Amino acid sequence: MLIEKWGYEKTFAIFGVAAIIGAILICFIWKAGPKTHTVE
């Protein structure tokens, strides 16, 4: 388990950063995708 190796704080920090990066990537993909995504 990563938590046992790194401790709770480091593990949650890494997962939090990964979640933020993932959300930003999804936003970019969403905007770069087909125009059907845009809500007028």
pLDDT of residue 3: 66
Query: Does residue 37 contact residue 30 with C-beta atoms inside 8 Å?
Result: yes
Q: How far apart are CA 15 and CA 13, in angstroms?
A: 6
Written as one string, the DSSP assignment of 2-25 is: HHHHH-HHHHHHHHHHHHHHHHHH
pLDDT of residue 5: 79
In the chain, where are the structural domains located? 2-33
Phi, psi of 7 (to 5 degrees): 90, 160
Query: Does residue 9 contact residue 17 with C-beta atoms inside 8 Å?
Result: no
Written as tens digits, the pLDDT of the chain (40 aa) is 666 777 888 889 999 999 999 999 999 888 877 666 555 5
